[in-house]
Amino acid sequence: MNKDILIRLNGISKAFDGETVLDSISLEIHDKEFITLLGPSGCGKTTTLRIIGGFETPDEGDVFFDGKRINDVPPYQRQVNTVFQRYALFPHLNVFDNIAFGLRIQKRPDAEIRQKVKDMLAMVNLKGFERRKVSTLSGGQQQRVAIARALVNQPKVLLLDEPLAALDLKLRKDMQNELKNIQHQTGITFIYVTHDQEEALSMSDTVVVMAHGQIQQIGSPTDIYNEPVNAFVADFIGESNIVDGIMLADRSVRFAGHTFVCVDGGFAKNEQVDVVVRPEDVDVVPVEKGMLKGLVTGVTFKGVHYEIIVDVDGFKWMIQTTDFVAEGETIGLYIEPDAIHIMKKSEFSGMFGDYSSFSDELDKLSVITEDEEEE
Amino acid sequence: MKFLSRFYMALIFFILYAPILVVIVFSFNGSGSLSHFSDFSLHWYRELFRDGEALSALKNSLFLAVTSSVFATVIGTFAAFGISRAKRRYYQVAVETVSKIPMMNPDIVTGVSMMLLFVGVASILKLSNVLGLWTMLIAHTTFNLPYVILSVLPKFRQMDKSLTEAALDLGCTPAQTFFRVELPFIVPGVISGLMMSFTLSLDDFVISHFVSSPDFKTLPLYIYNQTAHEVKFSMYALCTLLIFVILILLIAVNLAGSAEDRKLRKKNRAGAKGGRG
């Protein structure tokens, strides 16, 4: 596996105006991998991408490409190409000339350029668009041109900076599939930056979760979802109930006033831990059969399931269930051993995973302000 | 009320354009009178083109306007490029403000100080008769410079930074990036800067008056000299020609500007549509 490593970041740190953006990041990226840098805005994911692309120089640490240190290699001499968030198509050139741009700089023969551009347009489903002005294209079409313009140079690595952020939901889903297909077809390494956890989980071979300029966890999408290392990852990837617990012994944990059988071990006796239970893993049962009991304080219909908020001794749990439960009802909760995931305490403990102030509108609002901050 | 407001506007335009109209109308007057228009004639135009001194002044003016505006445009474009690339915001603002001050400086001050500078430098270098073509060229390029920066800098600011990065990403060296991506983007600003410089140079009198010599006369200087003694009617013809040249240039600048606006509006609409999908 070791000789597959295409890019290696070694202790990269970067600060802007004295503010640390990246704090000693180390990361290995393998050949032909689809790797996603995932995190909220300001976590350093875009800066990491820009360092790989050559648009920023790290203050500390080294970037290796194919075993060679490339810290001081300018972007135009790197074997990587970028798809920019706002497309960055050249407004004075038409679709053909935009895609041919890189090949013309390399002074390739005209016949080859024509053939390659044609192939690229076919790949991104834009046959016949050669002479169109880029300003007449829709957002999705511009995005495809941007992808074609980068891929036509056959880079070893394609960097994608939130390429789908400006598209609407339906188009975004289509483009996700298309990007995944293109990656399979071409065998090019994709480094993808997004703050959309669903996008990261559905597209990537490897997900790198970042926060506060540090890498929190690296793993496959299932690892990240099922075995989050700390409260931040558990909360950022999907919904999570995160409760304080005490590890009584291997495979036995006490939280919410009840002792549960679990599948984790290797902690000290009576160690304080964070316990994660996903909303879809909690079963609603009659009160007498439940391990915990609680009062339903909120019910939201989500289509596939109901999302209910249950107050268990003051801590509010989010539970997803297909059975209707009325607000004000007292219900029992049942949790299987393998639905319980134990995490060591971290700097993020106690910050996430309690749904007492939860409301859909609030969630949306905070997403919007987050996006604006990035502008 | 409506009538009043229309009348008021008509009056304003009349006051603005009456002197110009008088010049244009009387340039076609057959008799040499300022008080009554006898018959339509191109007499004064023929007279003008027989006047060797006027023609050489015209030639000087055109040569000076072309060279000084081209020099100012090249220098000003690179200056705007540099200002837009400055990392620190306060530095950008400071340089931009300093570059604008000469525009507000009274011409008479600029003219006198340039003359003093040229004469001073000449005396240090032990040169005599330094005033002429070269000092005119330097002076005109200098006072055109701020106007070029003024029209080019906003284009650099409008440009998405990722366009530059995209060009570098696709293999352009910084020089190739400038000529292949950045220059095409700012070209409308460059053209309007060029045309503005051309007209400013063509009609400058005050500064030219101080830094020129009798053997290098531009049109405004020549006209002034002529009118100092007695008004020749061929000067009316000359002024009429100048008015039309400037008018055509102004229309061209405005057309270029509005075409650019239309393009930008169209692009914004397309962008908004793309956003919605």
pLDDT digits (tens, 9 = 90+) for A67-104: 899 999 999 999 999 999 888 999 999 999 999 999 99
Q: Which residue has the higher pLDDT, A4 or A204?
A: A204
Cβ contact (<8 Å) for A75 and B168? yes
Q: Mind telling me how many Å the CA of A4 is from chain B's nearest CA?
A: 24
One-letter amino acid of B203: D
Find the mean pLDDT for residues A250-264: 90
For A78, phi then psi, to 5°, come to -100, 150
Judging contacts by C-beta atoms under 8 Å, the chain B residues touching residue A170 are 277
User: Residue A199, Cβ neighbours under 10 Å: how many?
Assistant: 21
DSSP codes, B116-143: HHHHHHHHHTT-SS--SHHHHHHHHHHH
> pLDDT tens for residues B192-224?
899 999 989 988 999 999 999 888 889 889 888
Q: Which residues of A touch B276 (CB under 8 A)?
A: 168
In the prediction, which pLDDT does B275 show?
A: 40
Q: How confident is the model at residue A375 (pLDDT cuts 50, 70, 90)?
A: very low
- For position A368, what pLDDT does the model report? 47
Contact B267 A91 (CB under 8 A): yes
- The ipTM of this complex is 0.82
Q: What is the mean pLDDT of residues A165-178?
A: 86
Name the residue facing B185 among A91, A138, A140 (closest C-beta).
Answer: A91
Nearest CA among A219, A233, A175 for reference residue A36: A219
A-contacting residues in B 80-99 (Cβ below 8 Å): none
A140 in B contact zone (CB under 8 Å): yes
Instruction: Decide if A163 touches B, using CB distance below 8 A.
Output: no
Q: Look at chain B and count its residues.
A: 277
Give the model's pLDDT for residue B226: 81
The minimum CA-CA distance between B254 and chain A, rounded to whole Å, is 21
Q: Is the pLDDT of residue A364 over 60?
A: no
- Best CA proximity match to B182, nearest among B77, B43, B70: B77
Q: Cα(A264)–Cα(A197) distance, rounded to whole angstroms?
A: 25
Looking at the domain covering B57-232+242-257, what would its CATH class be? mainly alpha
Q: Is the pLDDT of residue A193 over 90?
A: yes
In a mutagenesis test of the A interface, which of B159, B170, B265 is the best target, namely the one with the most A β-carbons within 10 Å? B170
Quote the minimal CA–CA distance from A249 to chain B in Å: 54
Do the chains contact at A81 and B170, CB–CB below 8 Å?
yes
Cβ within 8 Å of B, A 9-68? 53-55
Distance CA B231, CA B226 (A): 7
A170 touches chain B (CB under 8 A): yes
Phi-psi region of A182 (alpha: psi -120 to 50; beta: other; left: phi over 0): alpha
Q: Do A138 and B166 touch (CB under 8 A)?
A: no
- Cβ contact (<8 Å) for B165 and A84? yes
Mean pLDDT estimate for chain A = 89
- Euclidean distance between CA atoms B257 and A147, whole angstroms: 33
Give the residue on B whose Cα is nearest the Cα of A167.
B275
Interval A105-157: pLDDT, tens: 999 999 999 999 999 999 888 999 999 999 899 888 999 999 999 999 999 99
Residue A374 has pLDDT above 90, yes or no: no
Chain A residue with CA closest to B166: the answer is A88
* Among B163, B165, B274, beta carbon nearest to A139: B274
Domains of chain A (ranges, CATH numbers): 2-226 (3.40.50.300), 231-374 (2.40.50.140)
User: How many pairs of residues across A and B have Cβ atoms under 8 Å apart?
Assistant: 85
Q: DSSP strand E in chain A: where?
A: 5-16, 19-30, 34-38, 60-65, 68-69, 80-83, 157-161, 189-194, 206-211, 214-219, 241-249, 252-255, 258-261, 271-277, 282-285, 292-301, 306-312, 315-321, 330-335, 340-344
Q: How far is CA A243 from CA A196, A232, A269, A363, B63, in A?
A: 25, 13, 18, 20, 83
Of the residues A78, A104, A138, A158, the best mutation for testing chain B's interface (the one with the most B CB atoms within 10 Å of its CB) is A138
A276: how many CB neighbours lie within 10 A of its CB?
26
Q: What is the pLDDT of residue B276?
A: 37
For residue A357, what pLDDT is reported?
62
pLDDT (tens digit, 9 = 90+) per residue, A5-47? 999 999 999 999 889 999 999 999 999 999 999 999 889 999 9
For residue A140, the chain B residues in CB contact (below 8 A) are: 274, 277
Tell me which residues of chain A, numbers 293 to 332, contact chain B at a CB-CB cutoff of 8 Å: none
List, edge to edge, every strand of the sheet that includes A206-211. A80-83, A157-161, A189-194, A34-38, A206-211, A214-219
Please report the pLDDT score of residue B52 as a whole number.
85
List CB contacts (< 8 A) between B88 and chain A. Answer: none
Confidence of residue A215 (pLDDT cuts 50, 70, 90): very high
pTM of the model: 0.79
**Which residue is listed with tokens 């061929």?**
B234
A123 interfacial to chain B (CB closer than 8 Å): no
Give residue B258's pLDDT.
Answer: 72
Residue B265's pLDDT is 65
* Cα nearest neighbour of A149 on chain B: B170
Name chain A contacts of B168, Cβ cutoff 8 Å.
54-55, 74-76
Task: State whether B271 and A82 contact (CB < 8 Å).
Answer: no
The B residues from 217 to 276 touching A (CB cutoff 8 Å) are 263, 266-267, 270-271, 273-276
Cβ–Cβ under 8 Å, residues A225 and A234? no
User: In chain B, positions 169-188, which contact chain A (CB-CB < 8 Å)?
Assistant: 169-173, 176, 180-181, 184-185
The answer to whether B277 contacts A171, with C-beta atoms less than 8 Å apart, is yes
Counting as low any pLDDT under 50, the low residues of chain B are: 271-277
Residues from chain A that touch B169, judged by Cβ atoms under 8 A, are: 53, 75-76, 80-82, 150
Q: How far apart are CA A41 and CA A162, in angstroms?
A: 11
| pLDDT for residue A260 | 92
Mean pLDDT of A168-187: 89
Task: Please tell me the predicted confidence (pLDDT) of residue B267.
Answer: 56
